[in-house]
Amino acid sequence: MPLTALRPHIKPTLLLAYPVVLSQLGHVLVNVCDSVMVGHIEPPALAATSLAAISLGVSTSTVGLVLGLGVSLGITPLVAAANGRRDVPALGRLLVNGVWLCLAAGLVLALLGFALTPLLRHLHQPAAVEALARPWIQVLFVSYVPLMLFQAFKQFAEGLGLTRQAMYLSIIANVVNAFLCYVLIFGHFRVEPMGMMGSAWATLTARVLMAVLMGAYVLRAARLQPYREAASAQFLPDAPTLRRLLGLGAPIGVQMMFEMGAFSFSAIMIGWLGATPLAAHQIAINVASVTYMAASGIAAAATIRVGNFYGLGDGPSARQAGFTAYWLTFVFMSTMGLILVAGRGFIPYLYNDTPLVVEQAAGLLLIAALFQVSDGLQVVGLGALRGLEDVKVPSVVALLAYWAVALPIGYGLGFGMGWGATGVWIGLLTGLTLVAGVLLWRFRQHSLQTPVAVNPERIVLAH
């Protein structure tokens, strides 16, 4: 597709994307803050063990979280399509059912956390790492209840194109989290130092604040009054709307679970090598997750814009909006890859000063630099396809690419060939590249089948 055809979509996409980018970064910066501060606990040996424990905790807990987040992401394309049709009653139903669905998902996740932590001993991780991770994981799972409520209100607002509010709240929550981490981890202002557990309690507090403030915005903002009035007509969930949300959100969650599950199992495999490689993995994956979340923000903008045009029946514009997001992501992630190559020698020192940890993390960051483009293109492909309500095929692609290709290659190279963590990461690079290629082909084909608008004069609403 000629770049000239995409130019009109660049500014609207960026205006939607940048608040979502900052909001998405808010999620991962919580883990960045936790890792950076925990990595400087005294003595250094405890810091490295604590950093490895956070890696284990994030790896085992995030698989469940992304399933819940995926369910919430099903709200956005349905809201965007209903908004394109100006269907206020449908928007009211989506608000009510989205909140109920996310609340139920959060409660299930919280209970799941307490059920799963006794199983950590079967992962064969270092004993000291497992002991530190167990209570940390339980508190983190409790924080998923307010996080899922935040997601319900956030995805509804973003489906309407209101992306800045979540951005502001994420910034506020990260400031609160950083301050509480400083106080609770190290023990300031006459507070007893809690070590890495302080980061878990800080995260829970920040997420409660996010849920309260985002809910207050959606339930009080004047511009959203018509949707609240429509929602008040039916306070309880209804089966047809729940089925639509689950029909779209569940495959998204499954796809995200397959992807994140592969990364999590990779961390578990690296944990078999010892605490030092696992700490190095946590540093590298933490840095890579920052750039991934930025690309994820562009993908969210693609979902909104493609979904709007799809709801209007404007297939050509939906296709152009998707490819605009592809090009923006390619440029951004290529730049990030070069930055990681240049900074791999000093970035690890932000997390930890242990020479072996720093050396191994620098090597993994080089591989992370290589998979920046693949990682960005696969997530923006998912976002564009969600706008077309195409979610089932990407789930199958993720299952095969990560679990039938990436993990076996990673295990073979890491343990069979003796390449250690580097081999495991090369397996991940292979899986990401495969998914990116297949989803690009899928969007090219599927976007050509989008119907032409019945009422072309309404297309201006989406611009």
The average confidence (pLDDT) of the chain is: 86
* In the predicted structure, residue 463 carries a pLDDT above the cut 60: no
Total-model pTM:
0.73
* Strand (E) or helix (H) holding 7: helix 3-38
- For every residue of 156-179, DSSP letters joined together read HHHHTT--HHHHHHHHHHHHHHHH
* Residue (of 369, 359, 360) closest to 422 by Cα position: 360
Instruction: Give, in order, the Cα–Cα distances in Å from 182 to each of 33, 38, 213.
Output: 9, 10, 23
pLDDT tens digits for range 348-363: 988 888 889 899 999 9
Task: Answer whether 410's CB lies under 8 Å from 269's CB.
Answer: yes
The single residue listed with the structure tokens 């349905």 is 78
The more confidently predicted of residues 248 and 95 is 95
In this predicted structure, the answer to whether residue 51 has a pLDDT above a threshold of 80 is no
Question: What does the alpha-carbon distance between residue 30 and residue 364 come to, in Å, rounded to a whole number?
Answer: 22
Asked whether residue 414 carries a pLDDT value surpassing 90, the answer given is: yes
Answer yes or no: is pLDDT of 40 > 80. Answer: no
Q: What is the dihedral of CA 417, 422, 427, 431, to 10 degrees?
A: -170
* Distant-in-sequence, close-in-space partners of 178: CB < 8 Å, separation ≥ 6: 33
Question: Do residues 63 and 261 touch, judged by C-beta distance below 8 A?
Answer: yes
What would the pLDDT profile of 179-219 be if each residue is shown by its tens digit? 998 999 888 888 898 888 998 999 999 999 999 999 999 99
And the tokens for 249? Answer: 């959100």
Name the band, by pLDDT with cuts 50, 70 and 90, for residue 286.
confident
Tell me the C-alpha distance between 141 and 152, whole Å.
17
